[in-house]
Amino acid sequence: MSKPRYAMTMDTKRCVGCSACVLACFAENEVPEQGFRDWIVFETRGTFPDLHQEIRSERCHHCSESPCVDACPTGASHVGEGGTVLVTPHKCTGCKACIAACPYGARFVHPRGHVEKCTFCLHRVKQGQQPACVEICPTEALLFGDRADGDSALARLLRARKNKTLKPEKGLEPNLFFLE
Binding site for ligand SF4 (CB under 6 A): 24-25, 28-29, 37-38, 59-63, 66-68, 71-72, 74, 76-77, 85, 87, 92-98, 102, 104, 106-107, 115, 117-121, 131-133, 172
SS3 83: helix
Nearer to ligand SF4, 46 or 66 (CB): 66
Q: How many residues are listed for the chain in this entry?
A: 180
**Nearest approach, Cβ of residue 1 and ligand SF4 (Å):** 24
Nearer to ligand SF4, 47 or 153 (CB): 153
Nearer to ligand SF4, 44 or 98 (CB): 98
**Nearest approach, Cβ of residue 51 and ligand SF4 (Å):** 28
Nearer to ligand SF4, 37 or 147 (CB): 37
Q: Where are the alpha helices (DSSP H) in 18-111?
A: 20-29, 67-71, 97-101
**Nearest approach, Cβ of residue 120 and ligand SF4 (Å):** 5
Nearer to ligand SF4, 50 or 177 (CB): 177
**Nearest approach, Cβ of residue 154 and ligand SF4 (Å):** 13
**Nearest approach, Cβ of residue 7 and ligand SF4 (Å):** 11
SS3 44: strand
Beta bridge partners of 52: 45
Contact 28, 21 (CB under 8 A): no
Find out whether the peptide bond into 67 is cis, omega within 30 degrees of 0.
no
SS3 71: helix
Q: Where are the alpha helices (DSSP H) in the chain?
A: 20-29, 67-71, 97-101, 122-125, 132-136, 153-160
